């Protein structure tokens, strides 16, 4: 989730190991997602997220990926509006995703042959909510353990739905990269010792996700945590993407900021980097030939979005009726 920037180390690694990259021979028939506000369609969340696009919206718009029919009408619980195969819900923890049936809803579509590539990017809110001083009963170790168990259940459910489905699982970047967390530390509403304990639990959670990938041949890894950690170490204040200089510490809805004004969500450029990484993982692990997004393309897309303009996402997949 959070301070995502291009990872030079990963680019070099992929280029240096061509044997790991299979020739792309196919595109996914249908693409589904399980997640939280980073995956839910941004356009429905004013005032800040509505000025940008999520990675789902970016890939639907620029690569015509089939996330299902798009609807402005309520799709019914647990989804609301948006793409029919995108089950992500703003604010969802991994517990919320299970209770709402994000995984079972997507698994049903997989079983029907509608979806053959699924992305799972979830768990960050479990740890963010646990930083709240008003929730002292949330033990850091237990938060991480429960989140790990939930993600195992979600991935297993998706894999069991069809032998042909492929899943890309994303790790969750560290908490301290989030402006909202830095502000809480500065004003004393977040206990630094509690944050340290949650950071350890988050690292263990990410390790459990990597273990799933090692265990399951049909699960690929998008290691967003590793890339964010490398980038934050090398470029702690500013990062340049496609010639655009972004401030990662000062928030704002303009394209000169990595994070939107709400202090939790990244703008179109950051989301474009997530989309770039997820597409790369689908190619490296499974040979899905989705054309990668260039940094200049991502910046150009961000520049094209006026703060009050809505991007029409129904052109690629108009609502069927």
Dist. CA 280–CA 261, nearest whole Å = 29
pLDDT in tens, 37-90: 999 999 999 999 999 999 999 999 999 999 999 999 988 888 889 999 999 999
Cα–Cα distances in angstroms (integers) from residue 231 to residues 2, 91, 279, in the given order: 12, 26, 19
In this prediction, residue 164 has a pLDDT band, given cuts at 50, 70 and 90, of very high
Dist. CA 314–CA 61, nearest whole Å = 9
- What stretches of 51-116 adopt beta strand conformation (E)? 70-71, 82-83
Per-residue confidence (pLDDT) for residue 137, from 0 to 100: 81
Is the separation of the CB atoms in 116 and 166 below 8 Å? Answer: yes
In this prediction, residue 307 has a pLDDT band, given cuts at 50, 70 and 90, of low
102: burial class by Cβ within 10 Å (0-12, 13-18, 19+)? buried
| Tokens representing residue 114 in the block | 């509608």
Per-residue confidence (pLDDT) for residue 135, from 0 to 100: 84
Let me know if residue 247 belongs to a domain: no
Let me know if residue 258 belongs to a domain: no
pLDDT in tens, 13-40: 333 333 333 444 589 999 999 999 999 9
Percent of the chain with pLDDT over 70: 87
CATH number, residue 19: 3.40.50.1110
Residue corresponding to tokens 């991502």: 298
Let me know if residue 313 belongs to a domain: no
Let me know if residue 150 belongs to a domain: yes
Q: How many domains does the chain have?
A: 1
Let me know if residue 248 belongs to a domain: no
Per-residue confidence (pLDDT) for residue 136, from 0 to 100: 81
Model's pTM, two decimal places?
0.88
For residue 17, give every residue at least 6 positions away whose Cβ sits within 8 Å of its Cβ, in sequence order, or none: none
Per-residue confidence (pLDDT) for residue 209, from 0 to 100: 98
In this prediction, residue 317 has a pLDDT band, given cuts at 50, 70 and 90, of very low
Domain of residue 160: give its range.
Answer: 8-237+270-303
Q: Is 245 helix (H, G, I), strand (E, B) or coil?
A: strand
pLDDT in tens, 243-256: 999 999 999 999 99
**Higher model confidence: residue 249 or residue 138?**
249
Let me know if residue 194 belongs to a domain: yes
pLDDT higher than 70, residue 11: no
Cα–Cα distances in angstroms (integers) from residue 203 to residues 3, 149, 179, 207, in the given order: 16, 15, 19, 6
Let me know if residue 182 belongs to a domain: yes
Per-residue confidence (pLDDT) for residue 134, from 0 to 100: 85
Cα–Cα distances in angstroms (integers) from residue 179 to residues 40, 128, 142, 238, in the given order: 20, 12, 25, 14
Let me know if residue 98 belongs to a domain: yes
Q: Which of 82, 88, 65, 117 is closest to 311 using CA atoms?
A: 82
pLDDT higher than 50, residue 308: no
281: burial class by Cβ within 10 Å (0-12, 13-18, 19+)? buried
The chain-wide mean pLDDT, for the chain, equals: 89
Per-residue confidence (pLDDT) for residue 25, from 0 to 100: 58
Residue corresponding to tokens 């996402």: 313
């Amino acid at each position: 989730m959070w301070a995502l920037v291009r990872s030079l180390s990963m680019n070099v690694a992929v280029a240096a190991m061509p044997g790991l990259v299979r020739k792309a021979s196919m595109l996914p028939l249908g693409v589904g997602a399980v997640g939280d506000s980073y995956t839910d369609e941004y356009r429905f969340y004013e005032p800040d997220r509505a000025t940008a696009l999520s990675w789902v919206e970016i890939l639907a718009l620029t690569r015509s990926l089939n996330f299902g029919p798009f609807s402005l009408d309520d799709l019914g619980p647990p989804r609301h509006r948006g793409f029919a195969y995108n089950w992500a819900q703003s604010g969802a923890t991994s517990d919320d995703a299970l209770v709402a049936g994000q995984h079972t809803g997507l698994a049903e579509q997989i079983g029907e042959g509608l979806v053959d590539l699924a992305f799972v990017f979830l768990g960050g809110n479990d740890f963010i909510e646990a930083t709240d001083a008003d929730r002292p009963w949330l033990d850091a170790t237990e938060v991480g353990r429960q989140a790990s168990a939930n993600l195992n259940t979600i991935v297993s459910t998706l894999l069991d739905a069809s032998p042909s489905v492929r899943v890309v699982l994303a790790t969750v970047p560290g908490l301290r990269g989030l402006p909202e967390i830095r502000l809480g530390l500065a004003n004393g509403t977040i206990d630094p010792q509690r944050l340290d304990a949650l950071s350890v639990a988050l690292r263990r959670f990410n390790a459990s996700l990597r273990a799933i990938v090692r265990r399951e041949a049909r699960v690929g890894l998008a290691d967003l945590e590793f890339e964010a950690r490398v980038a934050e170490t090398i470029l702690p204040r500013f990062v340049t993407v496609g010639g655009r200089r972004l401030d990662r510490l000062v928030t704002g809805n303009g394209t000169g900021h990595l994070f939107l004004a709400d202090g939790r969500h990244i703008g179109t450029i950051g989301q474009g980097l997530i989309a770039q990484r997820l597409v790369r993982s689908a190619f490296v692990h499974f040979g899905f030939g989705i054309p990668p997004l260039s940094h200049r393309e991502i910046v150009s897309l961000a520049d094209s979005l006026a703060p009050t303009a809505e991007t029409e996402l129904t052109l690629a997949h108009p609502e069927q009726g």
